[in-house]
Amino acid sequence: MFGIGMPELLVIAGLALLLIGPKKLPDLARSIGKTLGELRKAADDLKGTISEEINTIKDDMPDQAELREALKKEFLGAEDTEKGTAGKKGKKKNPAG
């Protein structure tokens, strides 16, 4: 836990007991615990929101196979059409051949 061992924790607890006092220490520990719990809950909510948004974006994006097929149809289909029309134009331009 943060690279702090048991002896260090005991020293920190002893110093807190001396500085804060035995009457206020439980209240302080309780409020720190509540604050840490609220922060953890907020972080979990943020992680969940980010995950939902990422999943929504992933669902809207086409997968790689669909994208590949769409690109093939768009570009290879356009080349076939151009080749077909270019061949026809070439024959029309050269009627003697």
**Domain boundaries of the chain, sorted by first residue:** 1-61, 63-97
* pLDDT, position 90: 45
Q: How far apart, in whole angstroms, are the C-alpha atoms of residue 15 and residue 28?
A: 14
Whole-structure pTM value: 0.50
CA distances from 7 to 3, 27, 35, 41, 53 (A): 12, 24, 25, 30, 44
Residue pair 62/70 in contact by the 8 Å Cβ criterion? yes
Gyration radius of the chain's alpha carbons: 35
Find the farthest-apart pair of alpha carbons in the chain and give their distance in angstroms, rounded.
110
* pLDDT, position 36: 94
* pLDDT, position 78: 64
Averaged over successive runs of 10 residues, the pLDDT of the chain (97 residues) comes to 81 89 89 95 97 90 84 79 52 50
